[in-house]
Amino acid sequence: MIVMVVDGQGGRLGASLTEKIKKACPEAEVLAIGTNSAATAAMLKAGADEGATGENPVRVASTRADVITGPVGIIMADSLLGEVTAKMAESITAAGAKKVLIPMNKCNTLIAGINGETVSDLTEDAVKKICRLAAEEK
């Protein structure tokens, strides 16, 4: 199973997801796709199998991935302080992959039902969902 992890800014969330996915689902191939080089580097350091940066890698990797994960802002144009382009958001949204998104209540978007869970709790839940998808694929 190919899991595409998308993150921007410093890549801390993407690095956390990458590390947890590799630990919980070692059979998963993790593609680190950063909106900037710092985010990509952080995810590669966390154990991603491959990495690339920018709009075109998002578009290409979206067609290969079985699962796409990252902050909810990756499906919103101009989010992550403008790092997510409209083409990036469209590529992720239109991809046939399952999406497991982390609600961050940032980017002027509040997600109903999110009541103060920590980012660690949210990433743990996301990893459980991704591992469940991997098990279903077998």
Spatial separation of the C-alpha atoms in residues 72 and 102, rounded to whole Å: 5
DSSP string spanning 14-78? HHHHHHHHHHH-TTSEEEEEESSHHHHHHHHHTT-SEEEESHHHHHHHHHH-SEEEEEGGGGSTT
| Predicted local confidence at residue 105, as pLDDT | 66
| Predicted local confidence at residue 107, as pLDDT | 66
- Encode the chain (138 residues) as per-residue pLDDT tens digits: 999 999 999 999 999 999 999 999 999 999 999 999 999 999 999 999 999 999 999 999 999 999 999 999 999 999 998 999 999 999 999 999 999 999 876 667 777 777 778 888 888 899 999 998 988 877
| Predicted local confidence at residue 122, as pLDDT | 87
| Predicted local confidence at residue 68, as pLDDT | 97
